[in-house]
Structure 1
Amino acid sequence: MTEALASSAPIKKPSFWTKTAYGFGSAAYGTKDAGLKYFLLLFYSQVIGVDARLVSLAILIALIFDAISDPIVGYWSDNFRSKWGRRHPFMYAAAIPVALSYYFIWTPPEGWSDQALFWYIVILAITIRTFITIYETPSTALAPELTDDYDERSNILSFRHFFGWSGGNAMTVIAFSFIFPAFVTVAITNGQFNRDAYAFYGLIGSLVIFTAILISALGTHHYIPKLRKAEPKRDMTLRKIFTEIYQTVSSPSFFALFLASLVAFIASGLTAGLILYFSTFFWEFTAEQIGMITLGVFFAAFSGGILAPIVTRKLGKKRGALIVGLAAFIGVPLPIFLRLIDVLPENGTPEIFWFVLITNTIDTALIVCYQILAASMMADLVEQGEAKTGKRSEGLFFAAGTFMRKFGEGFGIVIAGFVLSIAGVATGATQGELSDETLWKLGAIYVPTVLVLFATVLTIISFYKIDRNTHEETLKELAARKSDTP
């Protein structure tokens, strides 16, 4: 009997505190994500004055390196042996490097040329993304180890997504409600365009990242003896490793979920890269109003987390993802489309503020629900892979999930940079300085682009085949194999 099979089986329902510790670790990823998705492009192009296309290119280069690290870390953590198990050594090792590199990306040297700052962004973005992979992939991969129950997986991943969204959102609320207002000066009437504000933002964010990683690692540390152990040591060549990786993930359901999620995260990155441009220039909201809209995301994250397990029980994951996804994806560009056809109240009125606040909160709740369902669908692929290869590869599957999210959202931000360039958004422009023609063009490019991406997502994910019955049959097959093993 292999060590992996001999280890304790996953617990059907982990305790509330275990789920909380597991979930809270995602606040590190959420904080990193919020900064790099929402602020990085605007910070370097509008505050520091670097060409948006150069910033986008720097992000793209970091993504190429990222594409290499994800499967390596996933495979490595699946086969790692230590007294602290397969996952936790990676989690502990990432805490300090990712926190430090995150701080320094918000404190670029003054007086550097665009080319020098381009390489500064590249190096730090690669460092941040590499070490967040070293933490996030093994950490997220604990989900299918903690439970093999079809419904409970959606529950435990609800904790993960709630803290991920809430952690990043908390940093955005803090930025707009406290940091930016505190950095208003006579010369800079909107603290959102003060570089010193971002240095303080980076300091707080790095502390949140470090704390979240340690709390999650320490809070799940006592489960290490109950988690599955690595396979016995084998002589492996690089060719054997990549062959094994391919054999593990080569199923129609995996490719359907992988491609659908990749496109969904590209759309998410595009939206995230432009959201502050729309809030600041298109809707002309104040920093305080943007902070209030962002507060709605806390309610949305909680609502989406509550909704996902219900949808799983009532509709199943795939059907639920299709229905919830359709509603969510239509809602993303709806307010902008309605503005383009001139059916909304004027900017500056209370009505337009409340309309955007309410629609954004509802739509975000649906997106959170969809993402939880998709992550839970990925967890169900673990047993399918084990039945096929005889090996547990949680890290490899969730490395695919980490890759999809980071590469997709990062590539979406790259697209956002080029959308800004095509629309004619001037580098260094502040609120009120963009023409109505430029703003209309920005919305007119964004709406059809994001709708096409989301329509592609729903088409691809329809090819995913695993449902409740399929999953339970696979569990029975694996249990029978284990009982037959001498």
Structure 2
Amino acid sequence: MTLATVVPDGAPTMRTKLAYGLGAAAYGIKDGGFSYFLLLFYSQVIGLDARLVGLAITISLMIDAVCDPIVGYWSDNLRSRWGRRHPFMYASALPVAATYFLIWNPPTDWSQAALFWYLLGLAVVVRIAITFYEIPSAALAPELATDYDHRSSLLGWRYYFAWTGGSVMTVANFTVLFPLFATAAIPNGQFNRDAYEVYGIIASVLIFVAIIASSLGTHSRIAHLRLPPAKRSITVGTVFREMFETLANRSFAALFGAAMLGAVATGLSASLSFYFSAYFWGFSPEQIGIITATVFISAIIGAVMAPIATRTVGKKRGAIIIGLIAGLILPAPVVLRLAGLLPANGEPAIFWMVLIVTMIDVGLIICFQILSSAMLADLVEQAELKTSRRSEGVFFAAATFIRKSVQGLGVIAASFVLTLAAFPTGARPDQVPETSLWELGMWYVPSILTLWLLMIAAISTYKLSRADHEENLRQLAAKDSIAIKPV
């Protein structure tokens, strides 16, 4: 048989969808810990200089980004009895779980330099180890579902588990774990080292279970997946040439630009979320926790909407419409406050308005992400017709590479907004001048809207339609039938 051997028939079963989606919870848990707790834990609990913590996190992210395309290309070309993807997936489970536990249990009484290298080394290993799972696992999507509509449904499950997996641990920390470890000496359990030791154990076990369950749950599909290319001599030049041939595509360039702008916008919004919650709106920690918990509903909204949008208006048009609505909803409460159309902080109406808007907007953003990933998956067959190679790993690795490479730009943009607003450092909510709060909103709104609209403009240049995708499948099927026809 040729490279394009048997492909899955029909829609993926519910078991396949659940198994494929569940694996994303591992990355979600890791990402939630790194995003929300790692800086605070090492700087405020362990006592490592915050600048060294930030440096370690940044260096590890840069190294990880470089590894993404390498892992993607490798998993496209691996030859084994367990196919191209599953050896990576199984092999990553224990290293990810073990190193994730260790990063939350650093040695005591070490010097600043020793702690820095401990954090840097483990952050690099954790990120690379999870990359060896996440990219091959994500790259299964185009093979598990070849149909235009089925792909959106399959990826909907993946994004659902990715968002809820990380959020479960984040919410559990704030509502259960930190209160449990509050003591007379440490009234706020968030600053108790013992809480993070327990978190490390629970999170590591969940990561391990998610990876193994997803790998075992999709194992039966190995016989139906694509074979790698025939054995050949591969040089560094070959690798770069083939990756360039695969990604030299106008529609990929559209998704590349959109992903880059979206990552910056997400970084800007996430970096300022606490400032808006605690300072701009004056919410209590309990209220912030409740708003954070709405992501479970948001994930359902996004996962349900994406297949509906795909069937009714198509992926590209659906992404544009939903992206525009999300971009306009996101800053709407801030605009209303700046215009003086809202009651004062402390009124129940303010909390419920922000909660509902956040829940709906995050759901729309998740839907947009699902459609974008499904659009990326559809490029696999187009590239195969051009190159005669299956390159799912390269495509999905390129997407994660973009996100990781520009992630820091959103943080930089947020720092500029705070500087322009003359926002005081180390101030309590009641110590921030009204002028700074107004300036914060005034600079944030045009910044986030500009990035979001540019992202929509970029994705609008994507060219692959439902008809194009079906034609690509037809041409590949025709080539396969000729290739395996007896002579």
User: TM-score when scaled to structure 2?
Assistant: 0.91
Show the counterpart of 1:297. Answer: 295
Q: State yes or no: 1:246 paired with 2:244.
A: yes
Instruction: Give the letter aligned to residue 198 of structure 2.
Output: F
Instruction: Give the letter aligned to residue 218 of structure 1.
Output: L
Show the counterpart of 2:76. Answer: 78
Show the counterpart of 1:132. Answer: 130
- Aligned 8 A contact 1:158 1:372 in 2: yes
Instruction: Give the letter aligned to residue 129 of structure 2.
Output: F
Show the counterpart of 2:343. Answer: 345
Instruction: Give the letter aligned to residue 205 of structure 2.
Output: L
Instruction: Give the letter aligned to residue 452 of structure 1.
Output: T
> How much has 1:387 moved relative to structure 2?
0.6
Q: Where does 1:213-224 land on structure 2 (aligned, <5 Å)?
A: 213-224=211-222
Distance change >3 Å, CA 260–CA 283, structure 1 → 2? same
Mapped to 2, the partners of 1:412 and 1:305 lie a distance apart of 26
- Aligned 8 A contact 1:63 1:411 in 2: no
- Aligned 8 A contact 2:62 2:404 in 1: no
Q: Which runs of 5+ in 1 are unaligned?
A: none
Show the counterpart of 1:94. Answer: 92
Mapped to 1, the partners of 2:102 and 2:338 lie a distance apart of 39
> How much has 1:205 moved relative to structure 2?
1.9
- Equivalent of residue 121 in structure 2, options 120, 123, 135: 123
Instruction: Give the letter aligned to residue 224 of structure 1.
Output: I
> How much has 1:483 moved relative to structure 2?
1.8
> How much has 1:464 moved relative to structure 2?
0.7
Instruction: Give the letter aligned to residue 396 of structure 2.
Output: F
Distance change >3 Å, CA 121–CA 284, structure 1 → 2? farther
Q: State yes or no: 1:316 paired with 2:314.
A: yes
Instruction: Give the letter aligned to residue 22 of structure 2.
Output: F
Instruction: Give the letter aligned to residue 36 of structure 2.
Output: Y
Which range is displaced more, 69-78 or 187-196? Answer: 187-196
Mapped to 2, the partners of 1:410 and 1:31 lie a distance apart of 20
- Aligned 8 A contact 2:24 2:158 in 1: yes
Mapped to 2, the partners of 1:126 and 1:69 lie a distance apart of 10
- Equivalent of residue 32 in structure 1, options 20, 30, 33: 30
> How much has 1:54 moved relative to structure 2?
4.7
Mapped to 1, the partners of 2:112 and 2:13 lie a distance apart of 51
Distance change >3 Å, CA 391–CA 451, structure 1 → 2? same
- Equivalent of residue 202 in structure 2, options 197, 201, 204: 204
1:115-136 Cα distance to aligned partner (Å, 9 max, x none): 6554444333222221111100
1:266-324 Cα distance to aligned partner (Å, 9 max, x none): 22233223323433444343333222212211111011111000101111111111110
Show the counterpart of 1:269. Answer: 267
Show the counterpart of 2:21. Answer: 23
Distance change >3 Å, CA 92–CA 440, structure 1 → 2? farther
Show the counterpart of 1:460. Answer: 458
> How much has 1:441 moved relative to structure 2?
5.1
1:378-436 Cα distance to aligned partner (Å, 9 max, x none): 00000011010011111111111222344444553465567667755646x67766665
Distance change >3 Å, CA 118–CA 457, structure 1 → 2? farther
Distance change >3 Å, CA 107–CA 412, structure 1 → 2? farther
Q: Which runs of 5+ in 2 are unaligned?
A: none
1:251-278 Cα distance to aligned partner (Å, 9 max, x none): 1111110121122122223322332343
Query: How many residues of Structure 1 are paired with residues of Structure 2 in the alignment?
Result: 483
Q: CA RMSD in A?
A: 2.6
- Aligned 8 A contact 2:66 2:401 in 1: no
Distance change >3 Å, CA 175–CA 287, structure 1 → 2? farther
Instruction: Give the letter aligned to residue 90 of structure 1.
Output: F
- Equivalent of residue 307 in structure 1, options 305, 308, 315: 305
